Amino acid sequence: MSHVVLRSFTAVYGARGQNPNFLTEDDPPRPDESFPWIRDKVEAERHAAAFARRYPGMTVTVLRLAPLVGPGVYTFYTRLFSHPVVRVVMGYDPLMQLLHPEDALAAFEAAIERRRGGIYNVVPRDTLSLLTILHLAGKVTFPVPHLLAYALADALWSVGVGEAPGGFIDYVRFLCVADGDRARRELGFESGYGSREALMAYLAYRYPGRYRAAGTEMAERTA
């Protein structure tokens, strides 16, 4: 074995009000590490970097995937679509990137073929705002003040009925979108789906009676 490819996520950059419009691989990860899921991803990247330093003959590639949304995907993000009414943070509507799982697989294939070491953002070709996503999904939004949103998320998560712990609120409050230019230049990766197409593919899978036609139309357009 001379090549290791690690799956990570653009969420390791952290969602902050001071983030630029598009984060690049040169921006350091600055997440709230009290969020266990993110803490694990950051720690895995640190181990990968240490491994690359220890074994310079090995090629270590880290793919930071945008949030995955598509058929068969079950994440913090897709849980937002499991309820007819979705809590949002009052006064915030961040842009988001939704990556289709087929694009994630294509990125791994490109990384294996090119054998280029380093960190690469793997993102769709466009963005959608959170409220647009929820509107397309047919959800009713319920605005909550941000201080209450964190406490409420933690309370619901602790009793097993919440979509995500309080640390996730940052990602539906602040901007955390990444630039995919390095993956295009060095890996030859170009996403086949946009954020809207990934969303509609998930909805057609999750709610086939309601969204089958939309999902079929998206599939025909990208075939």
What is the rounded average pLDDT of the residues 160-184? 92
Q: Which two tokens stand for residue 96?
A: 């988001």
Tokens 């952290």 belong to residue: 14
Global pTM value = 0.91
102-148 residue pLDDT tens: 999 999 999 999 999 999 999 999 999 999 999 999 999 999 999 89
pLDDT value for 3: 94
Tell me how far apart the 2 most distant CA atoms of the chain are, in Å. Answer: 53
Q: How far is CA 18 from CA 10, 11, 13, 128, 129, in A?
A: 16, 15, 12, 19, 17
Q: What per-residue confidence (pLDDT) applies to 1? A: 65
Over residues 79-101, mean pLDDT: 92
pLDDT of 88 reads 94
Mean pLDDT score, 70-99: 92
How much is the pLDDT for 222? 45
Mean pLDDT of 77-97: 91
Q: Which residue carries 């619901």 as its tokens?
A: 156
pLDDT of residue 212: 61
Instruction: List pLDDT tens digits, range 204-219.
Output: 998 887 766 544 454 4
pLDDT at residue 184 greater than cutoff 60: yes
b/e string for 152-165 if b means 16 or more Cβ within 10 A?
bbbebbeeeebbbb
What mean pLDDT, rounded, does the chain reach?
A: 91
β-strand pairing of 59-65 with 3-9: parallel
Per-residue burial over 33-54, b if 16 or more Cβ lie within 10 Å, else e, is bebeebeebbeebeebeeebee
Average pLDDT estimate for 84-102: 96
Domains of the chain: 3-222 (3.40.50.720)
Q: What is the pLDDT of residues 5-51, one digit of tens each?
A: 999 999 999 999 999 999 999 999 988 877 888 999 999 999 999 99
The answer to whether 40 and 6 are in contact (CB under 8 A) is: no
* Residue 223 scores a pLDDT above 50: no
In the chain, the amino acid numbered 136 is L
